[in-house]
Amino acid sequence: MKARRLTRRAVLERWWVLPVAGTAGAFGYMGFYATRVLRGKSEAGPPAFEPAPAQQVVPLSALKTLWAEHLFTYAGRPCTLLRVPRPVAGGLSAGDVHLAAFSRVCTHLGCAVNLVRDPEVLAFAFNYRPPDGQPHLGCRCHYSVFSALDAGKAVFGKANGPLPRVRLDVRGAGAQATVWATGIEPAPALGG
């Protein structure tokens, strides 16, 4: 069998394969990345609270307005308690007051998640315009956005998993009513 000699001319006639293959690979990766950012988000599912010691969080009277927020630490994790306009899966309703609490640790790489009240800030800074115009939880490290009204589901960005929820309880009545944390969902493996 005669060995085929690779000449300079043969190489130059096929040089176009490299940039075409590189371009096709780049567009393939961009399509994969766009799909990951926009779709493929896992649902929150039914609550899977792990028991933790009961901890008083805040008097119910301190959450007077919709989207009132109280930051606290529970089971060693920073958390946020929100008064929301409607019942949320895994949240708590006490009469006409609806509450939801989440871990503030982003499920992507563990950065802090904060409540973003202004939909225009979400549109400008996070490149996400909420369809309902409601506040969302946002991670400023990689611009993931989570919906408090959809049980902490990741709706945009690199995070794919929902924020862990905190189980709530109201103890006492009237002006003496207080919100307690009584359990929390397990922290997911970061990167999802």
Are 147 and 116 in contact by the 8 Å Cβ rule? The answer is: no
| pLDDT tens track for 106-142 | 999 889 999 999 999 999 999 999 988 999 999 999 8
Confidence of residue 174 (pLDDT cuts 50, 70, 90): confident
Say if 113 falls within a structural domain: yes
pTM: predicted TM-score of the whole model, two decimal places: 0.81
CATH code of the domain covering residue 80: 2.102.10.10
- Count of structural domains, the chain: 1
Whether 151 has a pLDDT exceeding 90, the answer reads yes
CA distance readout (Å), 125 to 51, 54, 120, 130, 177: 37, 37, 8, 13, 38
Confidence of residue 101 (pLDDT cuts 50, 70, 90): very high
| pLDDT tens track for 23-43 | 888 888 877 767 766 667 778
Say if 31 falls within a structural domain: no
What domain range is 55 assigned to? 50-184
Say if 45 falls within a structural domain: no
From CA 134, how far away is CA 100, in angstroms rounded? 14
